[in-house]
């Protein structure tokens, strides 16, 4: 059997309401499952936005090569897209990505 999503995707399980969910034996309501899903999503968004900022800072300090910076920025950007962050609606992320793109476009200067 082939699945469209990984079979252990927490988001899927928290949004699949046909089966009751439990945490350490405590029954989780549908509303609590929605809150948990949002909490995890917000945590991951914050984590990867921070990773982008930290990567830029480390490259600025000379601790991360430009090639690695580009790799990590692309990786974190793709993760943020999966988490539902739209670059057109997220001005902070758009500014960071513009900064990175300008940085790479000015390498020969």
Contact indicator for 87, 94 with CB cutoff of 8 Å? yes
pLDDT tens-place values along the chain, 109 residues long: 566 667 788 998 999 988 899 999 999 999 999 999 999 999 999 999 899 889 888 988 999 898 888 898 889 989 999 999 876 666 666 676 666 667 666 655 4
Instruction: Give the predicted TM-score (pTM) of the model.
Output: 0.75
CA pair distance 102, 22, nearest whole angstrom: 48
Burial class of residue 19, CB neighbours in 10 A (0-12, 13-18, 19+): exposed
Picking from 52, 32, 62, the residue whose alpha carbon sits closest to that of residue 98 is 52
């Amino acid at each position: 059997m082939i699945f469209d999503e990984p079979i252990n995707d927490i988001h899927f399980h928290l949004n699949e309401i046909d089966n009751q969910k439990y945490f350490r034996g405590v029954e989780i309501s549908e509303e609590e499952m929605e809150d948990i899903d949002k909490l995890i999503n917000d945590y991951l968004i914050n984590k990867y936005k921070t990773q982008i900022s930290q990567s830029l800072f480390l490259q600025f300090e000379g601790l991360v090569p430009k090639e690695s910076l580009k790799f990590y920025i692309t990786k974190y950007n793709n993760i943020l897209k999966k988490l539902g962050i739209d670059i057109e609606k997220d001005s902070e992320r758009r500014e960071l990505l513009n900064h990175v793109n300008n940085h790479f476009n000015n390498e020969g200067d």
